[in-house]
Amino acid sequence: MSIKRIGVALLAVIVVGLFSVPFTTSTVSGSAAEGAGPTALNVGEYFFGALENMAPVGDAAKPEKVVATITGAAEGEIVLVLKNVGKLEHEVQSALFLATSEAVVKSFDEKGNEISKVETVGSLREVELQPGMSAEVTLALDEPLQRAFEDDPNLEMRFELACQSGHDKRDTAKDHYQLGMRGWIVLKP
Ligand SMILES: [Cu+2]
């Protein structure tokens, strides 16, 4: 089994877990609590968050780490700001992107000028980041997921964050995921 297949299987397991969340009939909508605001995360060669989070595949001494803890899932909307502080393009994917019903991705250049705004219905495939660029990703969570967080204030779920750049080239030296661009996002109410 290739490393790529393992990565895909991992995502699939998380998604299956997600869909098995019991669907409740709660009619409570939107708690009064404010969300924690945007979660900022740097992206570079080859890490999420910071260089020490680099987790190359096959290096047992550097296990995959939690790179962001995001609260506000019970409100159903979370905002992630990804900034490319590296010199290469990165293509960010996450199992969390698959658990959304709508997404808005605003991209900004190095000077902070908005250069594009893309809205998607259904799951978000990936976020492309040129060097120096940042992206504000607003995710509307799937209703069953949101309700699960409303119903259980202690719920925590992990979603993998991964860079897909070079993943299809069959060249380990160019595969950002294998070089270390992987980590966990922890979602909380
Ligand atoms: Cu990358």
> Ligand 1 mean position to 25 CA, how many Å?
41
Q: What is the pLDDT of residue 37?
A: 84
Gap from CA of 164 to ligand 1 centroid (Å): 6
Residue 183 has pLDDT above 50, yes or no: yes
Q: Dump pLDDT digits (tens) for 11-60.
A: 443 443 333 333 333 333 333 345 568 999 999 999 999 999 999 999 99
Angle among Cα 19, 22, 28 to the nearest 5 degrees reads 115
Q: How far is the CA of 41 from the centre of ligand 1 (A)?
A: 13
DSSP β-ladder status, 90-94 and 47-48: unpaired
Q: Sign of torsion, CA 183 75 80 22?
A: positive
143 CA to middle of ligand 1, Å?
30
Whether the pLDDT of residue 70 is over 60: the answer is yes
User: From residue 173, how far is each of 51, 92, 176 by CA, in Å?
Assistant: 18, 18, 8
Q: 30: CA distance to ligand 1 center in Å?
A: 35
How remote is the CA of residue 9 from the centroid of ligand 1, in Å? 20
Q: Is residue 175 scored above 90 in pLDDT?
A: yes
Query: What pLDDT does 168 receive?
Result: 77
99-123 pLDDT, tens digit each = 999 999 999 999 999 999 999 999 9
**According to the model, what pLDDT value does residue 12 have?**
41
**Residue 108 C-alpha to ligand 1 middle, in angstroms?**
18
What's the whole-number average pLDDT of the chain?
Answer: 85
Q: What is the CATH number of domain 3-22+36-188?
A: 2.60.40.420
Percent of the chain's residues with pLDDT above 70: 80
pLDDT in the model for residue 36: 63
Q: Quote the ligand 1 centre to 135 CA distance (angstroms).
A: 14
How many residues appear in the chain? Answer: 189
Alpha helix locations (H) across the chain? 3-19, 143-151, 176-179
Instruction: For 73-82, write each residue's pLDDT tens digit.
Output: 999 999 999 9
Kindly give the distance from the C-alpha atom of residue 74 to the centroid of ligand 1, in angstroms, as a whole number: 30
User: What pLDDT is recorded for position 35?
Assistant: 53
Cα(128) to centroid(ligand 1), Å: 9
For residue 61, report the distance from its CA to the centre of ligand 1, in Å.
21
